[in-house]
Structure 1
Amino acid sequence: MPRGPGKLDKQARREARDAARVVAVWAEEAARVRGWTDAVHEDVRRRLADLDARSVSVPHRGAPTWRVAVLSRAEADGLVHALVARANLPRTGAEESAALTDLTTRAPAALAGARVLSPVRWAFNTPGRRARAVPHATYLVELAAWGARTRVASTLERLAAPTGELDPTGLSAADLLDPRLGLAALVGGRPATLDGAWFGELPRAVADLRAAAAEEAPARAALDEAVAGYRAPAVRAALSAMPLDALADVTTALLQLAPLRRAGITTVQAVLDRRAELTSLPGIGNVFRDNLVGAARTLARVTADEQPVRLPGTPDPAAGAVVAALARWDGVRRTQGAGADLAIADDLAPLAAVVDDTTELLLVRPERELPASGLADAIATVVRRADLVAVTTGRGPVADPWADFTARPADYYALLGEAGYLTEDQRAGHGDLPAGLVEAVREQALRTEALTVALRGYQSFGARFALVQRKVVLGDEMGLGKTIEALAVLAHLWATGATHFLVVCPPGVLVNWLREVAARSTLTAHRVHGEEWREAAAAWVADGGIAVTTYDTTWMESEAWAEGPRIACVVVDEAQYVKNPEAQRSQRVARLVAAVDHAILLTGTPMQNHVGEFRTLVAYLQPGLLAGLDDVAPRAFRRAVAPAYLRRSQEDVLTELPELVEVEEWLPLGPRDLDAYRAAVAAGNLMQMRRVAMLHGAESPKVGRLVEIVEEAEDNGRRVIVYSFFRDVLGSLPELLPGPVFGPLDGSVPAAARQSLIDDFSAAEGGAVLLAQVTTGGVGLNIQAASVVVLCEPQLNPALEAQAVARAHRMGQLHSVQVHRLLSEDAVDERITELLSHKRQLFEEYAATSVTADASPEATDAEIARQVVAVEQERLLYQPPAAPAPDDA
């Protein structure tokens, strides 16, 4: 651009006046171009500012997540046309932009300053004003020359008209995010639009859910009152022991406590009890009293929230009131299992309030990493739940709430959890997963419309973990509800369009699976087992649902599943049954898992003897996780398998679980026991060594102690499970034990009859005994009616004992569980107990939640058996050489 000085003689003044006339035309045209383009940009800015002012913030899990603007058709069309006008503005290069700036800013100033150049004004102006006009004249001459060279007039003509590149007649509100309109760059982030197909039902759905919740509100309020009454004695006791100084922890007000102490008020509870007389104390006015009472009430609320709700096995008035209130709430609810969906509806309520019949679309701008599709999913979840609630009726009143509670205690505790009265440590519910994976799992939606029960928080997390990672081992301790976690995964997949699922389990738990599916979901289970397996398989193929089969059915052995419909998810229960990769059943399961999109292996004992078993299970799911990791330390191993393995312990997540009391009872061998034991040692017969202490009736101290335990249980109204590895031990006991005896529950009992046997035992009076082989009754069955467990001998595999105990000490157990381990002193039981400590350590380091730095030795059953026999033979049979006779010669 011209900037140099010039001289003004008469000719120069004439040239400057000519230049001014040309520049004036250009300046006027440039001002028109600038005014037009500024108006187009201002129109877009104003529309967006208006949308932003009217937008609402929609949270997710308590944090602002989406900013949503509601647009009517007129507003959407108007914004589209404004953006089209902006997009059709002529493009200006850097030199053209600079020219426009000069023509609209400096050029007008130069024209004003050059007015003195007219002949008349020049003649009558002072030399000073003439001198000041020189730079303006020079600038105008050079600007005119530059403009002529660069064809500024043509440029201004081009910049004065829309390009017409974007035809507004072909665009509508649906095209708001067309990249050519440039809206994303204007609003930032990753905006998206949702049309009425997504949000049209939102106001109705939120209103319906809130109405349903309002209908339940009186019952819910009664529950809150009952829980407050249940907690009241414990809260009062805690506040009565809480010193006044604790008040300072919950208020910023300055508290003078000396007047209270002089009046004998020394605890927080005393402040509440005597609050009416506080202002009569010296130095305490109304404001001070209000601060004191407010702080005391805050401590009372905090203390109440921390009091656990543990319902006993026998009713008392406070617990009975809670159970009755739970039954009433459950009876009127149409929103059962909808706790998470109701929370989403609350999040969406501000959006629902601004959506009406005139709303054409939503402009969604994510404020976090969650995309707009997450909002669409949330809206769809609320609409689906409202539709389900509309056709749902409550369970109705319960004639005997306490009897219903004792029949299904786990469901009642889930209700307590949904009501917010079971405090779970969320971090404990995450197992050993890394933080990034935990966040991904928390963000995973879980659709539970097909479930008829509520989920505990840790169970919901386990199901979402399986959905996110697709193929996993759920290794929770026994009794935490792995079955319902897997069922929740199937329910979610069913709700999202999947149709066919498969459960593979041992025969002993097949009936339990069929019952769980029917009792806890609306899905259909098909028993592909027994004489009618072909008909069941055909019904599953035709109708969909869950095929429940066992590892070694003809259907599984023939791999007929591969010829049927696509299986969305396979659940392998008691997955330790396929720990041996050389076994045919293991190879069949491996092929099945490889062929499906989702697979869940359920086992509380992923490793029974050595780490290789754990590796085998993980390899079925995600073969690459342990590639190249041989002989690694436990911490590194746990870190490597984390993407495929989730384990939580009872202690971490079941805060309401009654106490587990374990007692080792060391007993001598009786005379007949000892003779038989020596013979078994001499023969090297470990199995006989392990059971001789239970085979001589009342003459055996172990049997005598077992009778005493059963008699004590009968006096206390408790039921007993007696476990042994040996069938002949169990077969010898029915005639020796008082009270009704059920079983033995062993491998000879058909799968269909096992659950019936447990049902009969559960219905019996206190003192009833269930005899169970530890390899049968300790796997996959729920026997929480018993609260006394007797183990007749230590097991070579400690996992069997843990499983057996967990059949009784599990979610829903109402009584403390007593575990009696009957052990023979100075015999094989001592040797086994010593050696098994290594196997327990191995499991804890690699498979449980605690990890150490060093690997443990592997100990197989065969190796333990060899060592035990060798030690006992040396101890009992070794005869030292005779000492030489003294030399009397």
Structure 2
Amino acid sequence: MDKTERAEIRSLAADLEHWGRRATEIQARRHAVQAAAANGEQNLRTRSVGINRAGRIAWRVVPLQSSDQGIVGHLWQRANLPAETAGDRALQRLLTKEAPRVIAEVSPLLGLRRFFTGSAKKQSAEAAADALRRHHAAITKARGPQRLEQLGSVDATYRSGLPGLHALLDPALRLELLSGRSGPRPEMLDRSVFSGLPAALDAIAKVVASEDSYRSAARAAGDKVRKAEVQRVLQEMPLEALKDATRDRLRLGPLADAGVTTVHAVLHRGNALAMLPGVGETSARRMLGAARTLQRTTYDEMPVRIDIAKRHPETTHLLRCLADWDACRVTRGAADDLARAAELAPLRAAIGVWTSHLLVIPAATAAVDDLRESIQVVTRRADQLGMSSGSGAAGVRADPWDDFLARPADYFAMLSELGFITADENAVHGDLPEEIIEAVRNQALSGEHLTASLRGYQSFAARFALVQRKVIIGDEMGLGKTVEAIAVLAHLRSRGDTHFLVVCPAAVVTNWLREVAGKSKLRPYRVHGPERTQAARTWMRDGGVAVSTYETLAWLESALTGPRDLACLVVDEAHYIKNPQAQRSRRTTALITRADRAILLTGTPLENRLEEFRNLASYVRPDLTVDATELAPRKFRRQIAPAYLRRNQEDVLTELPELVEVEEWLPMSTADSARYRGTVEQGNFMEMRQAAMLDGPKSTKMQRLIEIAREAADNERRVIVFSHFRQVLDLVAQSLPGPVFGPLTGSVPANQRQQMVDRFSSATHGAVLVAQILAGGVGLNIQAASVIVICEPQLKPTTEAQAVARAHRMGQVQSVQVHRLLSEDSVDQRIVELLAAKKRLFDDFARVSDMADSAPEAVDLSEAELARKVVAAERERLARRSTGQT
């Protein structure tokens, strides 16, 4: 190799060494950028806070401050690093690995050492020189040096301008927290959204803590009631129960011989059982263990009951503690808002003075707007609590039992809030589809304008109505559908909506006015009767809750011609509009279409035919497809589920007292039989139904009714007597001893019906309210009565169910007795038989809220057809009797 060649090789080697150093620098720089970005991501991940809802993470929130722009810069640099190709990696490997080796091998030819190098090494160096030329030529041809500078151009990109924190949402930054997810988009909330949250959470925590001693005292008192009741049960639990608990593995003879006859006695003896003759230490340990298991199980399954007939000292103490807690707390009616505050509590420590933004990453079923709303709800609630915390507690009555009897529903709501009254969660959901249940769980419910405490199942119904917008709430009578609807209106008011309308039967207008005023801060207006025009004008101007009637809808249509938005329409006793051809149905459905939201309330969505139920569903959800050709109640319930929620009393009101229903089959007197036979010969169906009552005290049914009224007076109970017929009611009112109120009939003005009920509720024990079943059995709350008498079977099973529910409902503290007076060998028997199918139909399609479908057997008899069939059957039966046939 001559001098020129050596100079060439030196020059090539110098180029490769320079490029190698540059490649090493670029690799180090790229690794530093990637490491800094990874550290920044780890910093954000560590700082993130999970916000739970319904036991699952609904949002992951990352608090940010201005200094986090450094992290954004690192992520931005990483995102703007030129992408490496396989050729780029091969180039860098060549320059940093292969080229240095080749240069080392060629060095023996370049210095003085070449004079002392053997032939083998010279040959190797010559080969290395050739490789060096090839490497250099290939790199130069591929523009390797220029590509290196492109790969190292990150600094220039960084200096071109650093983006703000909002850039974290840019998919180009490849933030790991946002990768590989679906569902609602993440958002950045600036400080104006959450700046008041820490102070609000602190204020709520302070108020809750100030009430906590009263709450804790009430909880401890409730535990004492449970323990006392458990002890009473164990004192009555026979020794044989230990056999069941141990599958007959214990010999209990020695215990019985020693006079130990109950599980309580076993617990009382404790370890001393081993001292009894015939009982060893091992047996004693097993007996005591079995007894303690029974004690624990009994405690776990023991609800806290308030029995007015057994006023135990510990129950009186519990009522006093509940009254004290209720009087001092300003959080009444704020349960849902406090739940939102508890959800947001993890953010309290995360939000600092320098926090400028929150990066919110929602789960698949949540939305950032829901979190934003929760923050607003909690902030407003904190402001309200601050204004009312100094208002002082209301006075507590000297006898807590008096206060309990005056407002039992409030006490049961407090027990529910303390966890002493629980409902089956699936029953609360009413068998709704899982995706709807999840959406309802995630729906906030503001209590800012609500003054009543909601039970858990009531809160669920209100949130269901908010999520689904237009729905049927078909909860069984007595569960509080009214307060569920009011909770929806109160929530919407907190969102800025102002105008709400309730359409109901005239008989319950007064009750709605009272409930809205008593359970919310909304202002009600009676848009019915002589003052309706002025009330409507004031409502249109100022907003609030207008309460009107089906009969007033024609006038109301003209009154609502203005541009005022109707935020929510509530239709009470919605089965009144089951016939789409009726004028009131058309007018109501026009309002449903016009309103932004609608809630149809009815405990009896299906009375005669399945088509009625389908009609109601079509009003609120015309998009639902309900197939009416198959015999498939399960399919029907599944299809109608998005619009229909129903819970039954036994599912959610565990504290409800017993309902005792008695069918009293009575023979007809001679006078009754003669009158009845004449009505059959005339073919007068309605006269046949009441014939067994029209001879007054001579009638067997009337005699039994007088006995029931006297027994009720002796037992300090009040009575409601229901009949379809005005003539029967008049005779009942004349025949009964003691104070009688009524008859309450359809001819009694609506505002006077509630006044009549109030006077009856304030009367002495033994008082009787006589009511037409279609007037007094709808809408009115008559918990003062605990004995119900139905004088004749009704043509719809739902009519009787509604009447019973007037008394057997939330707030009732006495067991309710229902006496159905039925005449043997009469039309009563035929009606009972024919209407059993109607009840089965309701149970199949409407009692469970799931989804909907019609069926051929769902076409039931009309009342006229039923009457013709009953009369024909009775004529045939009486004719057979007169000829001696069986």
Does TM-score exceed 0.5, indicating one fold?
yes
1:268-287 → structure 2 map (5 Å cutoff): none
* 8 Å CA contact 1:681, 1:872 repeated in 2: yes
CA deviation vs aligned residue, 1:84-139 (integer Å, no higher than 9, x gap): 33344344444334323433343344444443442434444456655665675444
CA positional deviation for 1:788: 0.2
1:623 is paired with a residue whose SS is coil
Other-structure match for 1:860: 862
Say yes or no: does 1:159 pair with 2:158: no
**Which stretch of the first structure deviates more once superposed, 375-384 or 521-530?**
375-384
- State the distance in 1 between where 2:294 and 2:554 align: 62
Of 197, 200, 205, 1:205 maps to 200
Amino acid at match of 1:747: G
Amino acid at match of 1:341: D
- How many aligned positions are there? 864
CA positional deviation for 1:157: 2.7
- State the distance in 2 between where 1:307 and 1:879 align: 55
Say yes or no: does 1:144 pair with 2:146: no
- State the distance in 2 between where 1:11 and 1:271 align: 113
* 8 Å CA contact 1:433, 1:646 repeated in 2: yes
Of 41, 55, 65, 1:62 maps to 55
CA positional deviation for 1:622: 1.3
* 8 Å CA contact 1:722, 1:791 repeated in 2: yes
**Which stretch of the first structure deviates more once superposed, 23-32 or 702-711?**
23-32
CA deviation vs aligned residue, 1:3-27 (integer Å, no higher than 9, x gap): xxxxx99988765544322111111
Other-structure match for 1:871: 873
CA positional deviation for 1:211: 1.1
Other-structure match for 2:189: 194
- State the distance in 1 between where 2:794 and 2:178 align: 70
- State the distance in 2 between where 1:529 and 1:374 align: 38
CA positional deviation for 1:338: 2.5
CA positional deviation for 1:546: 1.0
CA deviation vs aligned residue, 1:298-347 (integer Å, no higher than 9, x gap): 98666434211221234332222221111111111111223333333333
Instruction: Point out where structure 2 has 5 or more consecutive residues left out of the alignment.
Output: none
Cα distance change on mapping 1:428 and 1:126 into 2, 3 Å = farther
CA positional deviation for 1:515: 0.5
CA deviation vs aligned residue, 1:392-436 (integer Å, no higher than 9, x gap): 246523114222211211121111111111111011111132223
Other-structure match for 1:323: 319
* 8 Å CA contact 2:720, 2:768 repeated in 1: yes
- State the distance in 2 between where 1:197 and 1:554 align: 45
1:735 is paired with a residue whose SS is helix
Other-structure match for 1:84: 76
Other-structure match for 1:535: 534
- State the distance in 2 between where 1:377 and 1:278 align: 62
Other-structure match for 2:402: 403
Cα distance change on mapping 1:165 and 1:715 into 2, 3 Å = same
2:420 is paired with a residue whose SS is coil
Other-structure match for 1:253: none
Say yes or no: does 1:95 pair with 2:87: yes
Other-structure match for 1:434: 433
Say yes or no: does 1:357 pair with 2:347: no
Other-structure match for 1:3: none
- State the distance in 1 between where 2:354 and 2:330 align: 31
- State the distance in 2 between where 1:449 and 1:137 align: 86
Say yes or no: does 1:418 pair with 2:421: no
- State the distance in 1 between where 2:730 and 2:591 align: 39
Cα distance change on mapping 1:304 and 1:567 into 2, 3 Å = same
Cα distance change on mapping 1:722 and 1:881 into 2, 3 Å = closer
- State the distance in 2 between where 1:333 and 1:625 align: 45
1:725-764 → structure 2 map (5 Å cutoff): 725-764=724-763
- State the distance in 2 between where 1:670 and 1:299 align: 54
CA positional deviation for 1:81: 2.6
- State the distance in 2 between where 1:205 and 1:641 align: 41
Other-structure match for 1:313: 308
Other-structure match for 1:826: 825
CA positional deviation for 1:72: 2.8
* 8 Å CA contact 2:73, 2:162 repeated in 1: no
Cα distance change on mapping 1:225 and 1:279 into 2, 3 Å = farther
CA positional deviation for 1:589: 1.1
1:448 is paired with a residue whose SS is coil
1:845-856 → structure 2 map (5 Å cutoff): 845-849=844-848, 855-856=857-858
Say yes or no: does 1:42 pair with 2:35: yes
- State the distance in 2 between where 1:882 and 1:244 align: 61
* 8 Å CA contact 1:55, 1:70 repeated in 2: yes
Cα distance change on mapping 1:664 and 1:283 into 2, 3 Å = closer
**Which stretch of the first structure deviates more once superposed, 848-857 or 609-618?**
848-857
- State the distance in 2 between where 1:278 and 1:191 align: 66
Amino acid at match of 1:60: R
Amino acid at match of 1:323: L
- State the distance in 2 between where 1:197 and 1:133 align: 72
Identity of aligned residues (%): 49
CA positional deviation for 1:603: 0.7
Cα distance change on mapping 1:362 and 1:274 into 2, 3 Å = farther
Amino acid at match of 1:140: L
Other-structure match for 2:505: 506
Other-structure match for 1:72: 65
* 8 Å CA contact 2:53, 2:442 repeated in 1: no
- State the distance in 1 between where 2:96 and 2:234 align: 78
- State the distance in 2 between where 1:478 and 1:418 align: 22
- State the distance in 2 between where 1:682 and 1:9 align: 143
CA deviation vs aligned residue, 1:695-740 (integer Å, no higher than 9, x gap): 1111111111000000000000000000000111111222211111
Say yes or no: does 1:444 pair with 2:439: no
- State the distance in 2 between where 1:106 and 1:335 align: 76
* 8 Å CA contact 1:510, 1:550 repeated in 2: yes
CA positional deviation for 1:556: 4.6
Cα distance change on mapping 1:46 and 1:280 into 2, 3 Å = farther
CA deviation vs aligned residue, 1:44-98 (integer Å, no higher than 9, x gap): 2222222333333333233344443333322x22223323333443444443343
- State the distance in 2 between where 1:105 and 1:210 align: 64
Other-structure match for 1:171: 163
2:766 is paired with a residue whose SS is coil
Say yes or no: does 1:835 pair with 2:834: yes
CA positional deviation for 1:787: 0.3
* 8 Å CA contact 1:452, 1:522 repeated in 2: yes
- State the distance in 2 between where 1:570 and 1:23 align: 82
* 8 Å CA contact 1:557, 1:588 repeated in 2: no
1:537 is paired with a residue whose SS is helix
Other-structure match for 1:219: 214
**Which stretch of the first structure deviates more once superposed, 227-236 or 156-165?**
156-165
Instruction: Point out where structure 1 has 5 or more consecutive residues left out of the alignment.
Output: 1-7, 250-256, 884-889
Other-structure match for 2:453: 454
Cα distance change on mapping 1:703 and 1:880 into 2, 3 Å = closer
- State the distance in 2 between where 1:167 and 1:590 align: 64
Other-structure match for 2:376: 380
Cα distance change on mapping 1:630 and 1:161 into 2, 3 Å = same
- State the distance in 2 between where 1:562 and 1:269 align: 72
1:618 is paired with a residue whose SS is helix
Other-structure match for 2:786: 787
CA positional deviation for 1:604: 0.9
* 8 Å CA contact 1:381, 1:447 repeated in 2: yes
CA deviation vs aligned residue, 1:467-511 (integer Å, no higher than 9, x gap): 122111111111111111111111121112211111100000111
Cα distance change on mapping 1:186 and 1:143 into 2, 3 Å = farther
Say yes or no: does 1:22 pair with 2:15: yes
CA deviation vs aligned residue, 1:786-845 (integer Å, no higher than 9, x gap): 000000001111111110001111111111110000111111111111111111111111
Other-structure match for 1:252: none
* 8 Å CA contact 2:242, 2:290 repeated in 1: no
Two-structure CA RMSD over aligned residues (Å): 3.6
Cα distance change on mapping 1:292 and 1:565 into 2, 3 Å = farther
